[in-house]
Chain A
Amino acid sequence: MLRENTWRAKLFDLTLLIVLLLIAFLCLLPLWYTLAVSLSEKSAAAAGRVWLWPVGLNFNSYKQIMGDGSFFNSFWISIQRVVLGASVTFFITTLMAYPLSRSTKEFRMRNVCMWILVFTLLFNGGLIPWYMTIKELGLYDTIWGLVLGGGVPVFNVILIVNFFRNLPKELDEAALVDGAGPWRMLLTLYIPLAVPVLATVTLFTIVYHWNEFFHGLVLTSGQENYPLQTLIQQFVVVINTANMTEDQYKRMSELSNQTLNAAKIFIAMVPVLIIYPFLQRFFIHGITLGSVKE
């Protein structure tokens, strides 16, 4: 990187650092608050007495969420979903992105296929037909329903296509001269070069599958098949008081348990906190013409 040692440059750097740190701090505050609430005593949280430090420190909400066997069962389902989901998505979206990144000269139907994808991004029939289709396909109550239910992540595909298109044409030509066909070009050239964008979309996919709870609710018959977020989300469901029964009054104090809600957020963030720093290794700089740098 270019280095300048003038005081002006150093001042610039310092200001930059301070501004960025301030912004990061601002982003951290609500999270910190949420963590504090999740570790606080229920009544104190209910009274709004928690700010940035837990009141009545305890791990009760985490114990409650993680305390029974269903937690680990759902955890395992989520892991399966994430691994299968990330792999299948990676495989299919990368495969799709390559032909779509070709010019119309090289691939005549390219625009048609692209617009079909964009169309599906915008138009959909709604929940009911989607649900009925999934059931007809026999994907109800299966892990594949969860993995495939979200459909092709068109946004991710478009990102990869865009990235592929921006790679220099000279690379293509060089490879063709070497006698490479599309498969070899994709595997040996494009994928290694596209590591940053592939890491990005993989991150998005992992996060999506980890946090998605609605499909987990409607595509399963009950708790034994819930992925983790669906399981946890149950604890913080809202009950309409107008339809309550006596049993539900008993749950009132549970339902208004803000510490549970807060703890749930944290469990949701765990994979990101673990995986994202790891994936950042791939957000590296540069390619140079004529060679591939790792």
Chain B
Amino acid sequence: MAKRFMLVSLVFILLLSACSGGGNNTENATRHTDNGNSSTNVSGEKEATEDESKEQADPFGKYAETITLNYGKEVDPTDKSLPEGDTPENNQYSRYIKEVLNIDTKVTWQAASGTNYDQKVNLAISSNDLPDALIVKDSQLRAMVKAGQLADLTEAFEKYASPSVKKFMEKTNGVSQKSVTFDGKMYAIPSIQVQSDGVHQMWIRKDWLDKLGLEAPKTIEDLEKVARAFVEQDPDDNGKDDTIGIAGQQNGGRLYANFLESTNNTYGLDPIFGAYQSYPGFWLKNESGEAVYGSILPETKEALAKLRDMYANGLIDRELGIRKSASETVTDGKAGIFFGPWWMGYGPLPDAIKNNPEANWQAYLLPLDADGEFNAHMGAPSTLFVVVRKGYEHPEAVIKMLNLLVRDESTFDISVPIGHYPLRVPMSYTDESEYSAQALREVLAGTKTAADFTDPGYKLLAADIANIKKVKKEPYDNLDIEYWDPKADEGTWKRAYSLLVGSSSLTQDYNKIYSVLYSQTKTMESRWTNLKKLEDETFLKIIMGAAPIDDFDKFVEDWKRQGGDIITKEVQEHVK
């Protein structure tokens, strides 16, 4: 009995291994003989592709026969906007694609965006059970390239991408292209995010400033004075000693954005580092053109020393790094200052204002450095990628779908969120927020009208302009909270407030510092976790007084020794 069991299971195991491993061997062989002739396609298609390469490839070309595209989809479980009978698989967007391009998009599986979707993707990658196309993030893209699971899109992109799509990529000065190119080949189509996501500003309670007779702090010294006033002078008028000067990260948050997670760090302390021209977590080029890691530079030590001082003086939230929720300090009206990107109007401000209608949160590109300039480290332009599995017969289908999206997005009825469009990655002009903010100001001032803004690349602008007066009261040039009407249309208000208050300042001059690298090198795969742990531990301890400032020097030594030097050399190679 037992023996027969063994036999059966042995056979089973062999069968399973054959299924999982065998099928991809042929693909691996062809990858290396690729010479740009779409030879990765299944051989039966050879004739068809040769024909196509003869004629001019049409970026919007409708397929003669319906083709099927299976993909995994990220969905928003709270979204109720689909009309009766429509599903994430079958809706106005999927039907449009079918009509115009004759592509039948099928959802193999769907999952809620965030960790659920991530897990499904990771599982699909690890078990080699991939749909035809997917949207993935950087670490997943690299894993898939390494595993040889992706189709080479170089040629398809060259031939089929529309001029608009190519223009989006060009606007990033080659950074996007680099992020999807491995060994000279393009394996994904990158998203192009707005650059404003990476710029962290100072959000401050202007009503407190007014009450205490203060101005928005320009230098670090000013910041300290204002923070102290916020802490000591009871600006919320409740007789209790419960106000916080500067809010900081919560338990599990980031002290500053780093090169791998370079955007949207709310409640961090990024601008304070920037005021010392310190960019911890980023890879920079020094004067000699060599790559260096921002966290080990002397400027960072200076910034840390100042932060340590500020913390000891009670100007920064005492529970930095251990508080349950940083947003609570804002929504509960306890904090006077916090740092974050432009879109705070989406959250936490709505709740903060609901709890406290006079909370007048304004945003500034402050504090300034010793030269009177604002320094912002910038985020990666591409954080999401569309990939196609190796062996799929029509990789250009994905490109055509994106072309269509970019061309026609402004004509869609967006009561059904654009996220339902199959395989949609954001493709925006990197300056979309600033441009829109400027446009809105001009429209409100009466110097321009909607007709002046016709570039369809700014997709939401028409709607923004049409709706702005619903939520903005006169005088239009005063952005204080009393001249807004959030209740009139909460959705519009969130975006309008974020744009006008959060993005307006971005039209000023400021220094943009880019990381030379937004992804990993080889040795990072094995060493980075440890180095990062060292960095996080040391810096937080120094700031909170649990370690002396000179521990920084020991950190630099340890960092270099435990892999930092090797990695720096690799980054240097990459930069060349």
Contact = CB atoms under 8 A, between A and B. Distances in A.
Interface of A: 42-44, 46-49, 64, 68, 127-128, 131-133, 135-136, 217-218, 220-223, 231, 233-235, 237-256
Nearest to B138: A243
Given A242-B264, A256-B327, A234 B110 contact: no
B146 interface: no
Contacts of B352: 47
B354 interface: yes
B16 A47 contact: no
Given A46-B328, A131-B127, A247-B76, A253 B351 contact: yes
Interface in B1-40: 15-16, 19-20
B126 interface: yes
B475 interface: no
Contact of A221 (B16, B80, B110): B110
A132 B116 contact: no
B403 interface: no
Q: Which 8 residue pairs of A and B lie closest in terms of their CB atoms, listed nearest first?
A: A47-B332, A252-B347, A242-B261, A237-B114, A234-B112, A43-B351, A234-B77, A221-B109
B347 A223 contact: no
Nearest to B266: A241
Contacts of A254: 78
A132 B126 CA distance: 10
Contact of A239 (B113, B120, B325, B350): B113
A241 B123 contact: no
Contacts of A246: 426
B249 to A, nearest CB: 12
B417 A222 contact: no
A37 B544 CA distance: 32
B119 interface: yes
Contact of B116 (A127, A217, A243): A217
Interface string B235-247: 0000000000000
Contacts of B264: 241-242, 244
Contacts of B126: 127-128
Given A43-B355, A133-B16, A245-B191, 16 more contacts: A47-B351, A127-B126, A132-B129, A136-B19, A217-B116, A221-B109, A231-B77, A234-B112, A240-B114, A241-B265, A245-B384, A247-B418, A250-B491, A250-B494, A253-B350, A256-B327
B419 interface: yes
A238 B115 contact: yes
B111 interface: yes
A24 to B, nearest CB: 26
Contacts of B262: 242
- Residue from B20, B109, B260 having most chain A Cβ neighbours under 10 A: B109
B369 to A, nearest CB: 25
Interface residues of B, number: 63
A47 B111 CA distance: 30
15 contacts: A43-B354, A217-B111, A218-B120, A221-B107, A221-B110, A223-B77, A234-B77, A241-B266, A242-B261, A243-B383, A245-B193, A247-B76, A250-B346, A256-B325, A256-B347
B263 interface: yes
Contact of A132 (B16, B88, B325): B16
A191 B260 CA distance: 59
Given A49-B332, A244-B197, A251 B354 contact: no
A127 B112 contact: no
B331 A47 contact: yes
Given A46-B331, A132-B20, A218 B114 contact: no
A223 B120 CA distance: 13
A127 B113 CA distance: 21
A249 B343 contact: yes
Contact of B107 (A64, A135, A222): A222
B127 A253 contact: no
Contacts of A127: 123, 126
Contact of B347 (A217, A237, A247, A253): A253
Contacts of A250: 346, 491, 494
Contact of A128 (B75, B123, B328, B417): B123
B108 interface: yes
Contacts of B116: 217, 233-234, 237
A238 B76 contact: no
A261 B183 CA distance: 45
B395 interface: no
Interface in B67-117: 75-78, 80, 88, 107-116
